[in-house]
Amino acid sequence: MAEIVQQRIEDRIPELEQLERVGLFTKKEVKSIIKRVTALEYKLTRLIVNKEDFIAYIQYEINVLELIKKRRAHIHYQFKREEIEYPIIHRINSTFRRATNKWKDDVQLWLSHVAFCKKWATKGQISKVFSSMLAIHPDKPALWIMAAKSELEDRNSSESARHLFLRSLRFHPNNQKVYQEYFRMELLHSEKLRKQQKDLEKAEMDLGEYEFSPEILRGKLAEVVYRNATGQIKEAAFVISLLNIAAIFDFTKELQDTILQDLQTNYTEDSFTWDFMAKRELEAPGAGEELQTAKGRASDINRREERCCQVYEEGVKSLNSESMWTCYVAFCLERLKRKTNVQELKEKVSDSPLTLQTVCSLVCSQRGLLSAVAAVAMETKESYLDWSYSTGGYKKARKTFTSLQENRPLSKAFFTRMIQIEKEQVRISTTVCCTPHCIVFSCFYFPADLWLQYIQEELGPLGQPENCGKIHWRAMKFLEGESVERFTSKYTLLQTGHL
């Protein structure tokens, strides 16, 4: 073992002498490097080695490399880079290979080697590292994609990237991400060729051997990928994802039209199709003159929203399903949130079809269909309660709350907002019941904390403390499991003045 370490140290003596001779390191620093490297080398030659020892060795060598790069700019001695840096780079690559051969399953170790190769311009080595890694980890689609992107971006080889994507699909024939990135790569390739042709034409050069196929320039290879992908994966959301990728490129109108036609022909039984087609109506261009005024722009937005709703209405007639209604209600709620003019909301949101009444009506009238979309329904009810209070005051809010609390699902925020509204009335008028009546309802839905809040209200200046015993008895009768323990603990803290 000592002989091996000694030989390795002697092999790097000429390199270290060169570093000292050109002024990159002092004699003292060279001695320090030899001492540190010797210690690290001994660790790597033990019978039982740790991965951390390899990482420490590699990191030290990289630190030396970084220091050399930093100091190079401040010396006047002319030297070839391969005389100084290449031996260190070669040694780091060699150490990485030893580590990855020993710990083949450590993907992060492989990726650290890739990152080193990219930073220190050993691009030829990147392909070798990826090749070795994929031989060990062919079951990881993300690594295939990473390798293909590296071929395209780092080595400017679309052919190698294409080859990697095709190999990847042998292992992952139904992986959406692989197809998406393969599709994107072919479009990038076409875009690059189009730019090259344009530059050559601008320079008035004879295209000659550089003349490119019109089909490739139009993205024909990407269309082939699209056909293969949709032949394997028959989902509207996937088709839409490919359409969105194509839309990034300005030469793909024909391809986009093809994808859009396929979507409308083959995927009408999927709610994603209707959702996508409806939202496209928001992107439809408006009349130029009308858009010059704020009123005109508002009118244009309302018309677009109306067209969206018409598509959604057609969708729910065709697909009377939970997912379709979810898309419709979620869209209405999202658009409603964009209404920032409070006064306009109070005036029934102008002529827009997207009022809170409309959204809430959708939720409540379709509650059987929307049993699986609790988040949308609950958020809608909270917004509707707020709107009712802002437009009709306490009486309207109370009526809305009474109506909506009969329909599930319900949220704690819904009850909490009504409690706040009723508390405001207590401050305004003593004719209103001192304890918010919705606390009583909410206790049965969101037990422990709100039972405690019920008691605190009665202990307040406007409450009736003599009712606390009855409330405590009802709470203990109603609560179960951990809720009993939590309520008892907090009730004790309340009684002792610690809450």
Residues 247-305: tens digit of each pLDDT: 999 999 999 999 999 999 999 999 999 999 999 988 876 655 556 777 777 788 888 88
In this prediction, residue 154 has a pLDDT band, given cuts at 50, 70 and 90, of confident
Q: pLDDT tens-digit profile of 394-428?
A: 888 888 777 776 666 667 677 777 777 776 775 55
What is the predicted pLDDT for the residue at 333?
A: 73
CB 399 within 8 A of CB 366: no
- Residue 318 CA neighbour count, 13 Å, CB half: 15
CA 67 to chain centre: 37
| Helix-then-strand count for the chain, H and E | 26, 0
What is the predicted pLDDT for the residue at 458?
A: 72
Of the candidates 227, 315, 226, the one whose C-alpha atom is nearest the C-alpha of residue 272 is: 315
CA angle, 85 as apex, 81 and 89 as ends, to 5°? 135
What is the predicted pLDDT for the residue at 13?
A: 85
Q: Which two tokens stand for residue 398?
A: 């109370």
Of the candidates 448, 467, 470, 469, the one whose C-alpha atom is nearest the C-alpha of residue 458 is: 467
In this prediction, residue 212 has a pLDDT band, given cuts at 50, 70 and 90, of low
Phi-psi label, residue 393: left if phi above 0, alpha if psi -120 to 50, beta otherwise: left
Q: Which two tokens stand for residue 250?
A: 């300005």
DSSP string, 76-98: -----HHHHTHHHHHHHHHHHHH
Mean pLDDT of 99-108: 95
What is the predicted pLDDT for the residue at 426?
A: 57
Q: How many whole angstroms separate alpha carbon 242 and alpha carbon 226?
A: 8
Instruction: Indicate the SS3 state at residue 46.
Output: coil
Mean pLDDT of 475-494: 75
Whole-angstrom CA distances from 486 to 269, 390, 393 are 48, 36, 36
What is the 8-class DSSP label of residue 72?
H
Of the candidates 334, 310, 313, the one whose C-alpha atom is nearest the C-alpha of residue 325 is: 313
Q: pLDDT tens-digit profile of 105-150?
A: 999 999 999 999 998 867 788 999 999 999 999 999 999 999 999 9
Whole-angstrom CA distances from 383 to 194, 290, 336, 363, 378 are 51, 32, 10, 12, 9
Q: Which two tokens stand for residue 415?
A: 């009850």
What is the predicted pLDDT for the residue at 299?
A: 80
Q: Which residue in the block uniquely carries the two structure tokens 């030829």?
A: 124
What is the predicted pLDDT for the residue at 470?
A: 73
What is the 8-class DSSP label of residue 435?
S
What is the predicted pLDDT for the residue at 433?
A: 47
Between residues 432 and 269, the one the model is more confident about = 269
CA angle, 393 as apex, 387 and 398 as ends, to 5°? 85
343 burial (CB, 10 Å; 0-12 / 13-18 / 19+) is: exposed
What is the predicted pLDDT for the residue at 348?
A: 36
pLDDT at 205 over 70: no
CA 498 to chain centre: 43
Poorest-pLDDT segment among 4-8, 46-50, 279-283, 359-363: 359-363
Poorest-pLDDT segment among 273-277, 415-419, 438-442, 468-472: 438-442
% of the chain at pLDDT higher than 70:
77
Q: Which two tokens stand for residue 431?
A: 């004719």
CB 487 within 8 A of CB 448: yes
What is the predicted pLDDT for the residue at 179?
A: 98
Q: How many whole angstroms separate alpha carbon 89 and alpha carbon 83?
A: 11
CB 354 within 8 A of CB 335: yes
Q: Which residue in the block uniquely carries the two structure tokens 């060990």?
A: 136
In this prediction, residue 372 has a pLDDT band, given cuts at 50, 70 and 90, of very low
In this prediction, residue 369 has a pLDDT band, given cuts at 50, 70 and 90, of very low
DSSP string, 191-215: HHHHHHHHHHHHTT---GGG---HH
Q: How many whole angstroms separate alpha carbon 344 and alpha carbon 183?
A: 46
Q: pLDDT tens-digit profile of 307-362?
A: 898 999 899 889 888 788 888 878 877 777 675 443 443 443 444 555 555 555 55
What is the predicted pLDDT for the residue at 208?
A: 54
What is the predicted pLDDT for the residue at 72?
A: 77
Q: How many whole angstroms separate alpha carbon 239 and alpha carbon 23?
A: 61
Of the candidates 229, 239, 285, 282, the one whose C-alpha atom is nearest the C-alpha of residue 260 is: 239
Q: pLDDT tens-digit profile of 213-240?
A: 776 777 789 999 999 999 999 999 999 9
CB 165 within 8 A of CB 144: yes
Q: pLDDT tens-digit profile of 56-99?
A: 999 999 999 999 888 877 766 556 666 678 889 999 999 999 99
What is the 8-class DSSP label of residue 283?
G
CA-derived radius of gyration, the chain:
35
CB 78 within 8 A of CB 132: no
